[in-house]
Amino acid sequence: MLENLAIGFAAAATVQNLMWCFAGVFLGTFIGVLPGVGALAAISLLLPITYYLEPLTAIVMLAGIFYGAEYGGSISAILLNLPGTTSSAVACLDGYPMAQQKRAGVALFITAIASFIGGTIGIVLLTVAGPVFVTVALNFSAPEYFALMVLGLIAASTISQGSRLKGLAMVLVGLGLGTVGMDISTGVSRFTLGVDELFDGISIVALAMGLFGVAEIIASVRHGGKRAPVPKFSMRDMLPTAKEMRATTTPILRGASFGSFFGALPGTGATVASFISYSFEKQFSKTPERFGKGAVEGIAAPESSNNAAAITAFIPTLTLGIPGTASMALILGAFMIHGITPGPSLMTAQPDLFWGLIVSFWIGNLLLLVLNIPLIRIWVALLQIPYRYLYPAIITLICVGVYSLDRSVFDVFLVLGLGLLGYGMRLLDFEPATLLLGFVLGPLLEENFRRALVISRGDFGIFIDRPIAAGVLGISLVLLLWTVWQGLRRRRKTDADRPT
């Protein structure tokens, strides 16, 4: 292992690779901050540059953009309640309340530390346990993926701050929105209402930007755009208290575990990992009522999770040649451009490229930490920009970001309509995060359910006969019963405290 890392360090630590690694993480962070753009669009735009670079240099740069965007997306989520990427939407739940409590510096510092630790754990697992993860992932087929999606949806209903019934309702709404478009099995259009632009379904970027960004702007404008002035603070003021650091240590490690697992599974990725990590922390916290009001655990766990998932997403791509996400598919395309076919033989056929890329993850992760902690004061300064300048800029960035994906004017109007929906949900105390996760998991749930029944020729026993699927479904049932029991206990306590 040490010899392999030495080979990788010799390949990655050249001046050219270090420069492009820095450029990648810096651009990824910057683009992640911009709402509606994200790593996918950035990699697509910069892919032609890789034609003129060495293979390792090209992949190092694209990888830096990918995991840099995962960190950058949380910055706008915390400061403006506007997730730069879909996986950072969960950071809005507790990060934005902390910013409103004049603790934006603390929130961003915890984000940087959690992202660094989560990414580091992901790199260690990629380095040491990559083959083990591949073996486990190969045992997952349609029934196991279906069971994981069920677990994710049940966990999603617990994210809601209020009624569990409202949380479940939002999951169902997300599932319904996820069925809009072409049926992947039959090619028949569903629930498109005769609108051709909906044939490919609702854009997840439009949904996230509308429910979080536009809804927040409408709410702020309605309240007159008033906010407390951002105080000047030093580096010491950004540091969490000793109690907060102790409270975040275990959630960071748990979040990295969730992220490492889900990141290595093709088709799940950082979004699923971050939501499930947040749900787990809230469900098993002794004080779940703090979540959604500025709980540091609500930032630490999902931020660690999505950065660990961003790293371990390379496991199936490098070792099996199977891209787990759309961004990984583009990076796989960059390999193909240079005549390299990722797969089980990559580690032995081109060890300098394989281990050089892994060492570049260490370097890029450290660069992210060194680069972003000094910039926290600059990010917090965004809060001092007057709203009359900030609103038009945010709306413009949202519209440009959404339009740039498919060059569709319809998507621009769609995000504005979804913004009105998100504002209505806010007035009625419905949680948009649960809707978003239902939307993400719904198509995967349907696809794997139908595929499993095709494999078993209509026998539902396939979900029980396979040990992994049965175990995950059992955990889902326990979580559901636990949620119902907690709800009943909370109701009895409320009734007992109510005066006669």
**Average pLDDT, 10 consecutive residues per value, the chain (500 residues):** 81 88 86 67 70 85 83 80 74 85 84 88 79 64 83 68 72 87 81 84 79 76 57 64 86 88 71 82 81 86 86 77 66 78 74 85 85 74 68 78 78 88 85 77 83 88 87 85 73 65
Asked if residues 351 and 7 have their Cβ atoms less than 8 Å apart, the reply is yes
Q: Which pLDDT score, from 0 to 100, does residue 84 have? A: 67
Asked whether the beta carbons of 105 and 237 are under 8 A apart, the reply is: yes
**237: closest CA among 73, 384, 106, 428?**
106
pLDDT score of 494: 63
Phi, psi of 406 (to 5 degrees): -125, 5
Question: How far are the Cα atoms of 10, 11, 20, 63, 275 from residue 15, in angstroms, in the given order?
Answer: 11, 10, 9, 17, 38
Q: Please name the residues in contact with 111: beta carbons below 8 A apart, sequence gap of 6 or more.
A: 71, 74, 75, 78, 91, 95, 299, 303
> What pLDDT sits at residue 228?
46
Q: Tokens at residue 315, please?
A: 């496991």
Q: H-type helices in 373-428, by residue range?
A: 376-381, 387-406, 409-427
Separation CA 398–CA 415 (nearest Å): 9
Nearest to 344 by CA among 308, 310, 316, 377: 316
**What is the rounded CA–CA span in Å between residue 451 and residue 247?**
42
Contact 241, 120 (CB under 8 A): no
The pLDDT of residue 245: 86
Measure the CA–CA gap between 57 and 60, rounded to whole angstroms: 5
Single pTM value for the model = 0.68
Distance of alpha carbon 383 from alpha carbon 180, whole angstroms: 37
Whole-number Cα distances in Å, 172 to 167, 200, 437: 9, 20, 10
Predicted local distance difference test score (pLDDT) of residue 370: 82
Under DSSP, the state recorded for 182 is E
Supply the DSSP string of 447-493, one letter for each residue. HHHHHHHHHHTT-TTHHHHSHHHHHHHHHHHHHHHHHHHHHHHHHHH
The span from the CA of 25 to the CA of 31, in Å, is 10
The 10 Å CB-count burial string (b at 16+, else e) for 271-303 is: bbbbbbbbbbbbbebeebeebbebbbbbbbbbb
Cβ atoms < 10 Å from Cβ of 20: 24
Classify burial at 350, counting beta carbons within 10 Å of its beta carbon; exposed 0-12, middle 13-18, buried 19 or more: middle
From CA 417, how far away is CA 421, in angstroms rounded?
Answer: 6
**Cα 77 from Cα 91, distance rounded (Å):** 6
The residue written with tokens 């019963």 in the block is 481
173 touches 298 (CB < 8 A): no
Q: Are 487 and 177 in contact (CB under 8 A)?
A: no
The 8-class DSSP code of residue 7 comes to H
Position 346 scores a pLDDT of 75
**What are the distances in angstroms from CA 402 to CA 240, 411, 414?**
36, 7, 10
Q: Work out the number of other CB atoms within 10 angstroms of the CB of residue 374.
A: 9
Residue where the block lists tokens 């949900």: 425
Handedness of CA 5, 10, 11, 16 (dihedral sign): positive
Under DSSP, the state recorded for 139 is: T
Q: Phi and psi (nearest 5°) for 184?
A: -65, -20
Query: Residue 498 has what pLDDT?
Result: 63
Which pair of tokens denotes residue 338?
């240079």
Residue 487 has a pLDDT of 66
Q: Cα torsion for 72, 73, 77, 83, to the nearest 10°?
A: 160
Residues 6+ apart with CB under 8 A from 465: none
Q: Roughly how many angstroms between the first and final C-alpha of the chain, as a whole number? A: 69
Q: Residue 5: exposed, middle, or buried by beta-carbon count in 10 A (0-12, 13-18, 19+)? A: middle
Residue 441's CB is within 10 A of a number of other CB atoms, namely 27
